[in-house]
């Protein structure tokens, strides 16, 4: 248990540091790299909780595919380093008030939910086994088939939209 | 936890790294000799018997070369990029089973470093991480050629990763497991390449693109981009890129062997003879090595004979041909297996390879007609 705690503490330090680095770095590429580091540490958290499937999906989808596309766009546009830009006037007060609401909410939840004798346990060994993967697929494709399909249609629409937008530009140039 | 378990893991990891590093060194020699043979030359044969010491000489040369860091590079990323390229190529091999197991002083030692139940997903996740090294090398060099090489590499690898994932899915559907050991054992009766030849072929094509080998070596097309993403690298840092490419070749051949060619298993018709890996455990790594050597030979052969494909055609091939074809093939495989299970009629199972091959032929006809149309009938 103690070794797990040590790993958790070290990893959370890394995750928080990476998140801060992402926000404060002036270079967009460095920001993206910090975000990748953050995603990877989160994946290790999932591993610690005994959910290798989610951990691997996290790395493949977020750290791999999505962030590579981000990096790609950053490099193509050549916005390597941000000039000290004029921020929108209403952005700061809005961000601060939203952050304040979030802090209040989480503190309230923490106080109301955390009972002294309640222990959060890791999921049992069944999560780690092959049956769990099967179970998950069964639930996803039987019970939640409609949301799954709706999500995929949503993504498809976004993709078609992107293609249509670029196509119109080309036609206009001709 | 038992301390001997730690020792076992460390020793296994160390041995695996050693195998890959030696494999890299001798793969360079293998490739140079094989290429020379195909081009009616002799190739390196001076250092040692038949040039067997050539890799060592090359290593010494590379270590003592001057290392240059251009003034305007982004230093941290410039140093980090080669490391980020090499590490995934080594780590990737951890889940590949090299054999069954043997008893050593009363301890059962398995011939794989990790037996993950999500082994295939592990492979896809590490493969998607492997793009970073090349992209970052291109960007941090602060050089237009390197940048173009990096962008080309990332676009190419992302595009071909989709078909790669679908080919993984074909193997998963056929073996009913994501565990690589289970996938190998499922091929005891019949290799997957026999049931799904088109899937295996797509996989082999896609892996060529994933490791940036000819004819898909656009990221380092020397006539257009000097040396692509590693133009600014020299000395040991360049050697790391070189090493990563060849290690990836080895590992990806191991993966192809595992997914479609029976992994460490013998030929399916030898399964009950004295040549079976269930009889003698030490045969397993030998079979795997043989398969990897043959697959590597195909990679070298393709490099020696095929010209580089144009970049827009490369992308069109990936998105318009390989992706739909692998989707169709995956559908045929899944439907065939499901129908066989539900209706207990093996005719559905045997229709999988036939239907897949028909689909592949239709695809080939379409490509041919498209090329004919574009070149005004001169193909």
B24: tokens are 């890299």
Phi/psi at B66 (5° precision) = -70, 140
Alpha carbon distance B363, B158 (integer Å): 22
End-to-end C-alpha distance for chain A, whole angstroms: 67
Which of B121, B147, B178 is facing A60, going by the closest CB pair? B121
CA distance B117 to chain A (A): 6
Provide the pLDDT for residue A151: 92
Count CB neighbours of A5 within 10 A.
Answer: 9
Longest Cα–Cα distance in chain B: 71
Residues 6+ apart with CB under 8 A from B57: B47
The residue range of the domain holding A37 is 3-173
B204 neighbors B160 (Cβ within 8 angstroms): no
Which residue spans within chain B are E strands per DSSP? 101-104, 107-110
Provide the pLDDT for residue A174: 46
CA distance B34 to chain A (A): 35
Return per-residue pLDDT of chain A as tens, 174 residues: 577 788 888 989 999 999 998 888 878 888 888 998 999 899 888 888 777 788 888 888 888 888 888 888 887 776 655 555 666 778 888 989 999 999 999 888 888 776 655 555 555 555 555 556 777 777 778 888 899 899 999 999 998 988 888 876 555 554
B112 neighbors B181 (Cβ within 8 angstroms): yes
Residue A60: list chain B partners with CB under 8 A: 121, 124-125, 128
Q: How many domains does chain A have?
A: 1
CB pairs A-B closer than 8 Å: 74
Interfacial residues of A (vs B; Cβ cutoff 8 Å)? 29-30, 33, 36, 52-53, 56-57, 59-60, 63-65, 68-69, 71-72, 75-76, 80, 128-130, 133
Max mean pLDDT among A60-64, A155-159, B99-103, B156-160 falls in A155-159
Nearest-5° Cα angle at B205, B201 to B210: 140
The residue that leads in pLDDT, A118 or B232, is B232
B67 neighbors B237 (Cβ within 8 angstroms): yes
B366: tokens are 């379409």
Which of B116, B125, B154 is facing A59, going by the closest CB pair? B125
B303 neighbors B214 (Cβ within 8 angstroms): yes
Alpha carbon distance B44, B36 (integer Å): 9
Provide the pLDDT for residue B79: 85
Which of A29, A64, A130 is facing B128, going by the closest CB pair? A64
**Burial per residue of A145-166, b for 16 or more beta-carbon CB atoms within 10 angstroms, e otherwise:** eeeeeeeeeeeeeeeeeeeeee
What is the C-alpha R_g of chain B? 22
CA distance B122 to chain A (A): 6
Give the dihedral sign, CA B354/B355/B359/B365. positive
In chain B, positions 57-116, which contact chain A (CB-CB < 8 Å)?
A: 74, 77, 116
B196: tokens are 């799904």
Residue B117: list chain A partners with CB under 8 A: 52, 128-130, 133
Alpha carbon distance A100, B362 (integer Å): 61
* Strands B101-104, B107-110: pairing kind: antiparallel
Which residue spans within B96-208 are E strands per DSSP? 101-104, 107-110
Which of B77, B136, B179 is facing A130, going by the closest CB pair? B179
Alpha carbon distance B118, A130 (integer Å): 8
Alpha carbon distance A61, A77 (integer Å): 23
Alpha carbon distance B361, B348 (integer Å): 20
Count CB neighbours of A169 within 10 A.
Answer: 9
User: Which residue is associated with the tokens 């498809």?
Assistant: A156
Contact A75 B150 (CB under 8 A): yes
The closest of B67, B58, B56, B57 to B235, measured between CA atoms, is: B67
Q: Could you read off the pLDDT of B11-39 as tens digits, one per residue? A: 888 888 888 888 888 888 888 888 888 88
DSSP percent split of chain A into helix, strand, coil, nearest 5: 80, 0, 20
CA distance B253 to chain A (A): 21
Residue B136: list chain A partners with CB under 8 A: 29, 33, 71
Residue B177: list chain A partners with CB under 8 A: 130
Residue B164: list chain A partners with CB under 8 A: none
Give the dihedral sign, CA B78/B81/B83/B86. negative
Question: From the candidates A53, A61, A71, which should be mutated to test the interface with B, based on the most B CB atoms within 10 A?
Answer: A71
> What is the pTM for the complete model shown?
0.82
Which of A29, A56, A68 is facing B121, going by the closest CB pair? A56
CA distance B144 to chain A (A): 11
Helix (H) or strand (E) holding B111: none
CA B206 to chain centroid, in Å, comes to 9
**Burial per residue of B259-292, b for 16 or more beta-carbon CB atoms within 10 angstroms, e otherwise:** bbbbbbbbeeeebeeeebbeeebebbbebbbebb
Question: From the candidates A59, A66, A125, which should be mutated to test the interface with B, based on the most B CB atoms within 10 A?
Answer: A59
The closest of B377, B333, B341, B60 to B194, measured between CA atoms, is: B333
CA distance A110 to chain B (A): 34
Contact B151 A63 (CB under 8 A): no
Q: Is B319 on the interface with A (CB under 8 A)?
A: no
B215 neighbors B302 (Cβ within 8 angstroms): yes
CA distance A56 to chain B (A): 6
- CATH number assigned to the domain comprising residue A67: 1.20.120.1200
Q: What is the mean pLDDT of residues B316-325?
A: 86
Percentage of chain B with pLDDT > 70?
96
Max mean pLDDT among A117-131, B49-63, B244-258, B358-372 falls in B244-258
Q: Could you read off the pLDDT of B75-98 as tens digits, one per residue? A: 888 888 888 888 888 888 888 888
Q: Is B161 on the interface with A (CB under 8 A)?
A: yes
Instruction: Categorize the per-residue pLDDT at B377 as very low, low, confident or very high, splitting at 50, 70 and 90.
Output: low
B214: tokens are 């000819």
Phi/psi at A52 (5° precision) = -65, -30
Say if residue A126 is exposed, middle or buried (CB neighbours under 10 Å; 0-12, 13-18, 19+): exposed
Contact B154 A71 (CB under 8 A): yes
């Amino acid at each position: 248990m103690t070794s797990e705690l040590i790993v958790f503490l070290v990893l959370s330090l890394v995750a928080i540091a990476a998140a801060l680095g992402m926000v404060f770095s002036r270079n967009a590429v460095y920001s993206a790299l910090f975000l990748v580091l953050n995603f990877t540490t989160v994946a290790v958290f999932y591993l610690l909780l005994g959910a290798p499937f989610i951990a691997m999906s996290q790395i493949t989808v977020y750290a791999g595919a999505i962030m590579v596309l981000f990096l790609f766009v950053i490099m193509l546009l050549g916005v390597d380093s941000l000039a000290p830009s004029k921020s929108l006037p209403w952005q700061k007060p809005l961000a601060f008030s939203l952050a304040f609401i979030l802090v209040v909410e989480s503190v309230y939840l923490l106080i109301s939910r955390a009972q002294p004798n309640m222990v959060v346990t890791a999921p049992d060994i069944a999560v780690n086994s092959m049956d769990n993967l099967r179970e998950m697929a069964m639930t996803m494709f039987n019970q939640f088939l409609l949301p799954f399909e709706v999500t995929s249609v949503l993504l498809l629409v976004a993709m078609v939209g992107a293609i249509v937008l670029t196509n119109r530009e080309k036609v206009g140039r001709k | 936890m038992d301390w001997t378990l730690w020792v076992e893991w460390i020793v296994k990891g160390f041995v695996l790294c050693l195998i890959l590093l030696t494999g890299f060194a001798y793969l360079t020699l293998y490739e140079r000799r094989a290429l020379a043979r195909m081009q009616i030359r002799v190739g390196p044969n001076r250092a040692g018997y038949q040039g067997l010491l050539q890799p060592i000489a090359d290593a010494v040369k590379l270590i003592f070369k001057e290392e240059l860091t251009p003034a305007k590079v982004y230093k941290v990323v410039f140093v980090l990029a080669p490391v980020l390229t090499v590490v995934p190529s080594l780590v990737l091999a951890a889940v590949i089973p090299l054999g069954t197991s043997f008893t050593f002083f009363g301890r059962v030692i398995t011939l794989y470093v990790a037996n993950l139940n999500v082994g295939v997903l592990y492979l896809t996740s590490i493969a998607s991480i492997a793009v970073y090294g090349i992209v970052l090398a291109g960007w941090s060099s602060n050089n237009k050629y390197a940048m173009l090489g990096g962008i080309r590499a990332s676009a190419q690898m992302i595009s071909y990763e989709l078909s790669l994932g679908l080919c993984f899915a074909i193997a998963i559907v056929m073996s009913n497991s994501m565990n690589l050991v289970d996938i190998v054992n499922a091929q005891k009766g019949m290799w997957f390449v026999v049931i799904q030849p088109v899937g295996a072929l797509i996989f082999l094509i896609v892996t060529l693109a994933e490791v940036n080998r000819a004819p898909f070596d656009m990221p380092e097309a020397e006539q257009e981009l000097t040396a692509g993403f590693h133009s600014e690298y020299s000395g040991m840092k360049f050697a790391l890129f070189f090493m990563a490419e060849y290690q990836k070749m080895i590992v990806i051949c191991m993966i192809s062997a595992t997914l479609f060619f029976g992994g460490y298993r013998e030929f399916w018709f030898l399964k009950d003879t004295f040549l079976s890996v269930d009889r003698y455990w030490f045969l397993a790594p030998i079979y795997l090595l043989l398969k990897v050597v043959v697959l590597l030979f195909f990679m070298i052969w393709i490099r020696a004979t095929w010209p580089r494909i144009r970049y827009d055609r490369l992308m069109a091939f990936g998105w318009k041909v390989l992706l739909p074809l692998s989707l169709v093939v995956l559908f045929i495989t899944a439907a065939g297996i499901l129908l066989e299970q539900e209706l207990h009629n093996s005719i559905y199972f045997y229709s999988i390879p036939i239907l897949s091959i028909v689909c592949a032929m239709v695809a080939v006809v379409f490509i041919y007609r498209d090329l004919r149309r574009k070149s005004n009938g001169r193909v």
